[in-house]
């Protein structure tokens, strides 16, 4: 860039003739023309006179640094410009050449800068940083939190969001809107295992964080589909008047910087990537809906998306119905969780919540009603298959939406099937509990002459002691200790009435080492001493 057209045109022609792959050259004859390029295009190298009309080289340098912090600058200068050059070369990435040094020196300097840029892309220090960070609790916690938010199941209250951000050290402003970038790794078949794909995605995430945080506040995560997602805000606080322009500048920065990330991705990981930048400012409350829309637009891209960067705009209220569909799909997962956990009331309450919009919107005969039916039927069928309940639960009609006279009849059929599953679960659980407690009772009777602690009995049935105690009382109406006393009394009475053993021996047979302890226990339970009971049972005067 130079205000003397002959110099600008000459340098452009010389650099074009070099045949350097992927080198695109833009020329400007003034500072304002240069700024127009810099506002709309990522520039890696700026070759400029340090003295120009409209805008000086140092002012231009400050603007370049704000917009493209990795851009290299080569200033052309005369002998009387050393004061300006001295200030410029204190800044990283700035070089200078004397105009008298000739074209060969300019070419050599440009080639050197290109090699420097290529070397930077090939370096693995950012990948090493990714490996060091990828297992941190903060990264995992933030990812889990935002995946929860994207499901539309998070607390939409601003105060709750502020507290969540504080606790999770999320460096975004919970009161200000965001920009969204969605990224996908293309052709990951060269990574055969889940661990390798996850490692690659995390490496790209941290690469992206390193670049994007140079000029923005951002949080990156891997979404439920294994794609990359960044939530981004301008790094500087600004007034409402300046806010829109600040977000526009960030969009331009993203479009250029994502190209850098793609280059590093390919050269370091041999992975191609696609990025979709949402140029619409998104409020936190509408993030789940916007996220779905961005995914849809990226899915509808032209070609395979390799090395694509697409900037899209979304309407503020593009599809309320689509939002409902997304939330509904997540809530079917909740239904499956309630069914698996045996939470009948929560299952039925959520089922009614999902059912009401279908009826209210008069969609009983539409595609959404059919989708609702089959989604719920699949939840029930999956449970039946996992629990091997095919003989107890008829499943032939589950996948027959058209077999029902009306939507209401189909819904009632599914509801009855769910009730049957919960009933079977309760019966099975009850039977298993009864069987387990009968086993405990048999164990007590067989080992009544031994120490029978709650811990020992719990180990026998593989329960924890407190659960065994509660379940035993629930099934038998007695505490474990009370039942043991009942068995000991019964056994002692039987031995006293039929056997000729000494009282001490009978005490030992029912778990008492001391005759005095046995006597106190027996008299407390029956009102008689062991000898008095023996005499009474045998009719001895």
CATH code for the domain of 17: 3.40.50.2300
Looking up residue 165, the CATH number of its domain turns out to be: 3.30.70
Tell me the C-alpha distance between 376 and 181, whole Å. 33
pTM: 0.58
Residue 319, pLDDT score = 45
Question: Is the same domain home to 461 and 374?
Answer: no
Same structural domain, 159 and 264: yes
* Structure-model confidence comparison of residues 540 and 141, the more confident one: 141
In a domain, 433, yes or no: no
Same domain, residue pair 250 and 135 = yes
pLDDT digits (tens, 9 = 90+) for 155-198: 567 788 899 998 888 989 999 999 999 998 876 556 667 777 77
Based on the fold, state whether residues 115 and 133 are members of the same structural domain.
no
Q: In what order do the strands lie in the sheet with 309-312?
A: 216-222, 228-234, 178-186, 272-282, 309-312
In a domain, 434, yes or no: no
Round the average pLDDT of the chain to a whole number and report it.
81
Domain with 213 in it: 125-317
The answer to whether residues 377 and 418 belong to one domain is yes
Nearest CA among 120, 306, 131 for reference residue 203 = 131
Cα–Cα distance list, 259 to 227, 279, 497 (Å) = 17, 16, 95
- Shared domain for 188 and 301, answered yes or no, is yes
Position 430 in a domain: no
340 shares a domain with 293:
no
Residue 204 lies in a domain: yes
pLDDT digits (tens, 9 = 90+) for 55-67: 777 788 888 887 7
Domain of 483, CATH number, reads 1.10.10.60
The verdict on 293 and 206 lying in the same domain is: yes
Tokens 């805000």 belong to 233
Q: Are residues 133 and 258 in the same domain?
A: yes
> How many distinct structural domains can be found in the chain?
4
Residue 427 forms part of a structural domain: no
The reply to whether 230 falls in a domain is: yes
pLDDT (tens digit, 9 = 90+) per residue, 448-489? 988 888 888 988 988 888 889 889 998 889 899 899 999 999
pLDDT band at 446 (very low <50, low <70, confident <90, very high): very high
Q: Does residue 374 belong to any structural domain of this protein? A: yes
Same domain, 160 and 228: yes
**Residue 320 pLDDT:** 44
Q: What pLDDT, on a 0 to 100 scale, did the predictor assign at position 366?
A: 67
- Note whether 171 and 226 are same-domain residues: yes
Which is it for strands 178-186 and 272-282: parallel, antiparallel or unpaired?
antiparallel
The residue among 318 and 414 whose pLDDT is bigger is 414
| Position 269 in a domain | yes
Last residue of a domain, one of 364, 388, 422: 422
Give the count of beta carbons closer than 10 Å to the beta carbon of residue 363: 17
Choose one of 317, 336, 360: the last residue of a domain: 317
Among 317, 350, 372, the domain-final residue is: 317
Do 269 and 159 belong to one domain?
Answer: yes
């Amino acid at each position: 860039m130079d205000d003397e057209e002959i110099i600008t045109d000459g340098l452009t022609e010389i650099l074009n003739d070099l045949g350097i792959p992927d080198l695109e050259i833009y020329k400007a004859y003034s500072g304002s023309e240069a700024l127009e390029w810099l506002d709309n295009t990522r520039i890696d190298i700026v070759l400029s006179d340090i003295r120009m009309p409209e805008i000086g080289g140092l002012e231009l340098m400050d603007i370049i640094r704000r917009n493209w912090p990795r851009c290299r600058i080569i200033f052309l200068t005369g002998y009387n410009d050393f004061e300006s050059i001295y200030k410029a070369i204190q800044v990283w990435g700035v070089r200078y050449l004397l105009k008298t040094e000739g074209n060969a020196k300019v070419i050599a300097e440009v080639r050197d800068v290109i090699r420097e840029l290529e070397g930077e892309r090939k370096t693995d220090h950012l990948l090493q940083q990714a490996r060091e960070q990828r297992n941190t609790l903060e990264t995992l916690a933030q990812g889990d939190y935002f995946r929860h938010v994207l499901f539309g199941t998070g607390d939409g209250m601003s105060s709750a969001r502020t507290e969540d951000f504080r606790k999770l050290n999320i460096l975004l402003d919970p009161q200000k809107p965001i920009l969204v970038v969605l990224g996908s790794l293309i052709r990951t078949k060269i990574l055969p295992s889940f661990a390798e794909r996850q490692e690659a995605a995390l490496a790209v995430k941290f690469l992206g964080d390193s670049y994007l945080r140079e000029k923005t506040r951002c949080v990156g995560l891997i979404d439920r589909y294994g794609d990359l997602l960044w939530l981004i805000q301008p790094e500087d606080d600004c007034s409402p008047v300046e806010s829109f322009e600040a977000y526009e500048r960030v969009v331009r920065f993203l479009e250029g910087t994502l190209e850098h990330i793609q280059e590093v991705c390919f050269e370091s990981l041999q992975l191609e990537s696609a990025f979709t930048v949402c140029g619409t400012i998104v409020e936190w409350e509408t993030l789940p809906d916007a996220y779905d829309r961005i995914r849809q637009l990226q899915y509808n891209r032209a070609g395979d998306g390799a090395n694509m960067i697409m900037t899209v705009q979304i309407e503020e209220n593009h599809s309320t119905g689509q939002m409902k569909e997304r939330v509904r799909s997540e809530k079917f997962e909740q239904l499956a969780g309630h069914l698996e956990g045996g939470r009948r009331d929560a299952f039925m309450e959520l089922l009614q919540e999902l059912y009401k919009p279908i009826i209210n919107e008069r969609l009983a005969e539409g595609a959404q009603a059919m989708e609702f039916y089959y989604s719920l039927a699949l939840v029930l069928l999956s449970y039946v298959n996992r629990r091997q309940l095919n003989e107890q639960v008829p499943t032939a009609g589950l996948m027959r939406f058209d077999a029902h006279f009306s939507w209401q009849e189909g819904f009632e059929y599914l509801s009855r099937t769910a009730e049957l599953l919960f009933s079977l679960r309760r019966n099975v659980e009850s039977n298993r509990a009864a069987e387990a407690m009968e086993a405990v009772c048999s164990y007590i009777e067989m080992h009544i002459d031994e120490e029978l602690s709650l811990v020992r009995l719990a180990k026998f049935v593989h329960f924890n002691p407190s659960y065994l105690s509660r379940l035993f009382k629930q099934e038998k109406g007695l505490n474990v200790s009370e039942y043991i006393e009942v068995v000991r009394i019964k056994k002692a009475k039987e031995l006293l009435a039929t056997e000729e053993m000494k009282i001490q021996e009978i005490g030992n047979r029912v778990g008492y080492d001391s005759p005095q302890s046995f006597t106190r226990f027996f008299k407390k339970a029956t009102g008689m001493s062991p000898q008095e009971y023996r005499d009474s049972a045998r009719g001895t005067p």
